[in-house]
Chains A and B, each alone.
Chain A
Amino acid sequence: MKLATSLAALAVAGLGTAALAQDDPVELRMMWYSDGIEGEVMQDLLDRFEEQNPDIDVVLDNVAYQVIQEQLPIQLASGQGPDIARVTNLKEQAQHWLDLREHVEDPAYWDENFGNRFDWMREDGSDAIPGFLTQLTMVGGFANRTLFEQAGVEIPGDDATWDEWVEASDQVAQDQGLVAAFAVDRSGHRISGPNVSYGGDYIGEDGMPAEIDDGTMEYVTKLVNWTKEGKQLPEIWVSAAGTTYRSGADDFINAQIPFLYSGSWQVANLSTKIGDAFDWVAIGSPCGDVGCSGLAGGAALVGIKYTDHPEEVARVMDYLASEEVVREFSERTLFLPAHQGVVEAGGLDFQSEDPNVPPALERFVQASNETLPAADALPAWKWANAYYGALVTRISQAMAGEITLEEARELMNRDIADVVQNASQ
């Protein structure tokens, strides 16, 4: 009798647990990194989504950018990872993104508003909807206007060359007793626009990586020489080995350098951290021999194909990709939107009281029209990262005086060939 009673109690408890489990919301994990305040904005948007969709619980895992770059690829390669992630390495990991085409409510809406950049984040020849760009980024520079004014040096104009910018910044640095004239983020992506501006082209006729050309070497030589002369802040490029990413933003924010070459994603960061300490302006990209090109890019929110809940992932993505949410996200984060409808409608009310912000964003929009075709091709090119990695590693060695520029060129070609060979095995 006792046994029967116990079994009955267990059965009732089991049924109760099962019933409760059915009512539990589906938990989705979103891996997210922040350059500025976008993590808070995203959390706010997700809270709103969860209110409207009580059957889905989205956990926002805020991680460092390095985690996205170094740990997420390992998780993905082993068939694991979050359900949704914010990534910048769009093309190379395209095989891991969930194709949302069968799951989203209106694929035509996605094609219409985000379709022009799907090739940046899907495998060649695919028609998948892998996600959407949360922001369109444009590589470009910033100048500390207050320092230029204090030094009595005129800020170079829109068509000023790299030489002119470095020369002017150097005058400011010397006059103001600063540690260096400028810094370019330690990233192959960042120097690719300038390389193209000097005639560089990474893509061979067969679509495979071309050998490092003279155009690329022209800018690389300048950058190495400026660093050796102490004009570029050595902490950024020289003080690290390998492909480690380092930004010069903190040094610009601390007014240690009058000129920073980074990108549009820094606008909110600069505005928040600089406040009214000094005035700054976005300057687009300085010119080379053949143009004044930056490099477009972006961070994308993608579904991960290893998720157990593709339908729920698609519902979250549908919400976040909706026009009003994209508009709000852009206005609050000060990011350039990549949504065709939002861009065409215009009239974005960027939420910042900082007078430096609106002209900076306008300048980046203008800069996005100045990119050269060789730069425009890179975001959707499979081997771009191989090039970027080789550039960073070997240029740093040349700057440190470990190898000559010719040796660097030879080693970069070898590194790129190694990546291609390894990937083909």
Chain B
Amino acid sequence: MAAIPRTLGAIVTAPLTWIARAIDPPLRWWQRLTGLNGMAAVFLLPNLAIFGVFVLFPLVLNVVYSMTAGTNILLGDRSFVGLDQYQRLLTCEDYTQAITCREDMFWTAAGNTFFFVVLQVSMMILVSTITALILNRNIRGRGFFRAVFFFPVLLSPVVVGLIWRWILQRQGLLNLIMVNLGMEPEVWLNDRAYAFTATIGVSVWAHMGFYTLILLAGLQAIPKDLYEAAEMDGTPPARVFWRITLPLLGPNLAVVLVLALIRGVQIFDEVYVLTGGGPGTSTLYLTQYIYEVGFASILRNPGLAAAASILMGLVLVVLTLVQLGLSRRNEQRGSRQ
């Protein structure tokens, strides 16, 4: 009979111990049969199974869907059309004019996403870097400000979208303030430029805390003696920033760049709540296009949505490969140092 556990730790670990004892004999038998490599397979299997069921299988299924047509959802009820959906998405008379494309909404969304990503990622890196530099200084209330900048990251994207919609709508907080200051109110979300800028600003506000944290960690990892040496040499602060801080922050900036790029391409929820893709299609981004075509629209076309998502996935694969390349280069550089 097993001894009765007496301490809290023993009570917690007791079930695990019993499980370990129960599975020990079959594992030993398996190890004898297959050797150490076989054991590796056993331990990898649960993760591989989860990956296979929740990532690989849906991915393959999506590829298959992208080669089918019809309004039915069940694969068996859909007709195989090969690469027709891709052809439809990629056919254009003039690639600089979305309206001339067979699937003009896709190209409008792709163009919007491109400009959004370029501007949003630039803004994100700039704002996050400045914020991290400020928070890295020995300012009063540093802990409080770190929490304040990180707080929006904890909010649901839908909440973020709603908050900013209430601020920016015709009778929103911003117009209320402007009217009280004697200014003319603006219909921010009905103007193409304002609405596009708002989606960038809101997404930067919502996510910058996360990137600031990564950059802050990078800043704190820079050895203090480098700054002390520079100070002793009388190096101007700007030169210290360009010659010491920025190069040593490079690996973190690279991570931030790629992560921000990937998240930028995937932008959806807060923008969907904030602008609904409008005015017109000026803030219609790729993920919303896919969602609309696949699920929301009365003109639903799951095959076309699947093909568009595969094309978007390819862009994300390229960005991920860049991130992996940069990470490996940093690791190699680190190991050489």
Contact = CB atoms under 8 A, between A and B. Distances in A.
Interface residues of B, number: 40
A345 interface: no
Interface string A76-92: 01110000000001000
B4 interface: no
A400 B284 CA distance: 13
Interface stretch (A107-115, A153-161, A321-329, A401-409): A401-409
Contacts of B296: 69-70, 242-244
Given A74-B73, A407-B99, A390 B280 contact: no
Interface stretch (B123-131, B297-305, B316-324): B297-305
A211 interface: no
Interface stretch (B36-44, B187-195, B306-314): B187-195
B104 to A, nearest CB: 7
A425 B281 contact: no
Contacts of B74: 77-79
B171 to A, nearest CB: 8
A241 B278 contact: yes
A285 interface: no
Contacts, number: 111
Nearest to B185: A179
Interface in A386-425: 386, 388-390, 393, 396-397, 399-403, 407, 411, 415, 418-419, 422-423, 425
A241 B281 contact: yes
Given A78-B74, A239-B189, A390 B299 contact: yes
A179 B170 CA distance: 9
B276 interface: yes
B66 interface: no
* Interface residues of chain B: helix, strand, loop or mixed (majority): loop
A239 B190 contact: yes
Interface string A40-72: 000000000000000000000000000001110
Nearest to A240: B276
A402 B81 CA distance: 32
A402 B276 contact: no
B295 A70 contact: yes
Nearest to B293: A242
Contact of B69 (A234, A240, A400, A425): A425
Interface residues of A, number: 42
A425 B99 contact: no
B113 interface: no
Contacts of A89: 298
Interface string B52-90: 000000000000000001111110001101000000000
Contact of B79 (A240, A241, A425): A425
A68 to B, nearest CB: 12
Nearest to B292: A242
B209 interface: no
A389 B72 CA distance: 18
B10 to A, nearest CB: 29
B212 interface: no
A39 interface: no
Interface centre among B192, B296, B301 (most CB of A within 10 A): B296
Contacts of B299: 243, 386, 389-390, 393, 415, 418-419
A171 interface: no
Contacts of B120: none
B199 interface: no
A238 B298 contact: no
Nearest to B70: A425
B297 A389 contact: yes
B203 interface: no
Contacts of A400: 192, 278-282
A235 interface: yes
B295 A241 contact: no
A384 to B, nearest CB: 10
A422 B284 contact: no
A397 B281 contact: yes
A73 interface: yes
Given A244-B296, A385-B298, A423 B71 contact: yes
Nearest to A246: B276
21 contacts: A70-B295, A188-B298, A235-B169, A238-B278, A238-B280, A239-B190, A239-B275, A239-B278, A241-B280, A242-B292, A242-B296, A242-B297, A244-B276, A393-B105, A396-B278, A396-B280, A401-B280, A402-B280, A411-B104, A422-B69, A423-B71
Interface of B: 69-74, 78-79, 81, 99, 104-105, 169-170, 187, 189-190, 192, 195, 275-284, 288, 292, 295-301, 303-304
Interface of A: 69-71, 73-74, 77-79, 89, 179, 188, 234-235, 238-244, 246, 385-386, 388-390, 393, 396-397, 399-403, 407, 411, 415, 418-419, 422-423, 425
In the complex, the 6 A-B pairs of residues with the closest C-beta atoms, listed nearest first: A400-B280, A241-B277, A77-B73, A240-B276, A389-B298, A425-B69
